[in-house]
Structure 1
Amino acid sequence: MNDSSLTSYLLNADIKNSLAALVSCNQYTNQFGVSLTEEDAAQLLECRKESLTEFGRIEFEGGILPKLIFEFCDSPYIYQDNYMDTLITLQSIFYLYKNESLDELSDDELLHYMKIHFEGECQGSLEYLEDTCLNNFCRKIREGWRGEFDEE
């Protein structure tokens, strides 16, 4: 097998594993009335690739999507009809604010902060989460604030 064939094989295997991992999240998310088809998962992975490129980031081991799904799937503001669009937007918001927070927050801290405020003062508004809550929070981080991550 030449280098190009090996690379292609490894990329295809990674995509298949990532698709399977996302679809397997349904075992948990079904109880909240949301699930992904294989086509949905493929679309999420494509959006992930675009977001990573846009924000100049790389990921390993399946990326943030499974954690994002598990963090948000039980939200009263997420239902099957808005599930995909919400996941796509949350994923983009995550990468943006991972950069804006200067990587001072762990993935889990940022996801938890996003969820608390999405369900709290944002009342399910992705725009308010992105443009107000996270923007203000990351400005504090860039200014040197080192309080508890879920405090305002």
Structure 2
Amino acid sequence: MNSIMAIPNSMIIKQAFIELQQINEKTLEYGLKLSDKDITAIIERRTEVLKGNGRVEFGGGIITKIISNFCDSPYILQHNYVEIIDDLIETFYYYKNETMEEISDEELISLMKEYFDNRCQGDIELLRYKYLDKIAHNIKYGVADYLDVDEDIERYEKGDEEE
């Protein structure tokens, strides 16, 4: 039997639940709080996303990192908090795979936060399909400055002006 499978799922879920309850202490400062029902829903969603992306995680480490980094975003309010956290979790794991593990968890979360708050103004679709797709593309094709997401955009805009 695989040693990973030997760890009871209920222990992992309980640990993640406790970690997410504790993060409420930080997020209350920003008017954000997860109920026990919200926490359960987030953990269930994370489990689905992990399976869908062929990943394994113990505890709630990534969720708490995402929440800690995003809780001060002007685009996250109590009414959209759980939905955005779910979307960010899904986005994180998808792009961990797409960037072929070339960037750390912390760097990916930091990039997501920077683009989400600034260039995307809270638009998850824009974050995913414009910026993170470009970064993943650059990493896959060996672009030295993989964070240069504006090159094609600028070239496209200049091409439009010439027509």
TM-score, shorter chain, exceeding 0.5: yes
Q: What is the CA-CA distance between 1:12 and the residue it aligns to?
A: 2.2
Distance across 1 between alignment mates of 2:104 and 2:149? 15
Distance 1:58 1:149 in 2: 27
Letter of the 2:15 counterpart: N
Distance 1:151 1:134 in 2: 9
Report the residue type matching 1:117 in the other structure. Y
Tell me the equivalent position of 2:109.
111
| 2:135/2:149 contact within 8 Å kept | no
Match of 2:80 in 1: 82
Q: Distance in 1 between matches of 2:146 and 2:58?
A: 27
Once residues 82 and 148 of structure 2 are traced to their aligned partners in structure 1, the CA distance between those partners, rounded to angstroms, is 26
Give the aligned partner of residue 97 of structure 1: 95
Conserved? CA contact 1:118–1:129, under 8 Å: yes
The 5 Å alignment of 1:26-45 reads 26-45=24-43
8 Å CA contact 1:109, 1:149 repeated in 2: no
Distance 1:101 1:134 in 2: 9
Superposed displacement of residue 14, structure 1 = 2.5
- Counterpart check, 1:143 vs 2:145: no
Give the drift of 1:62: 2.8
* Match of residue 3 from structure 1: none
User: d(CA) in 2 for partners of 1:87 and 1:31?
Assistant: 17
Letter in 1 for 2:18: A
Deviation per residue, 1:81-111 (Å, 9 max, x gap): 0000000000000011111101101000000
Matching residue's letter, 1:136: K
Output the CA distance in 2 between the equivalents of 1:57 and 1:13: 18
Per-residue deviation, 1:150: 8.2
CA contact (8 A) 1:100 1:138 kept: yes
1:9, distance to aligned residue in structure 2 (A): 8.7
Of residues 117-126 and 139-148 in structure 1, the stretch that sits farther from structure 2 once superposed is 139-148
Which moved further from structure 2: 39-48 or 142-151?
Answer: 142-151
Q: CA deviation at 1:18?
A: 1.2
Instruction: State the Cα RMSD in Å.
Output: 2.0
Q: When the two structures are superposed, what TM-score results if normalisation uses the length of structure 1?
A: 0.88
Of 122, 127, 131, which residue of structure 1 is paired with 2:120? 122
| TM-score, with length taken from structure 2 | 0.83
| Aligned 8 A contact 1:113 1:150 in 2 | no
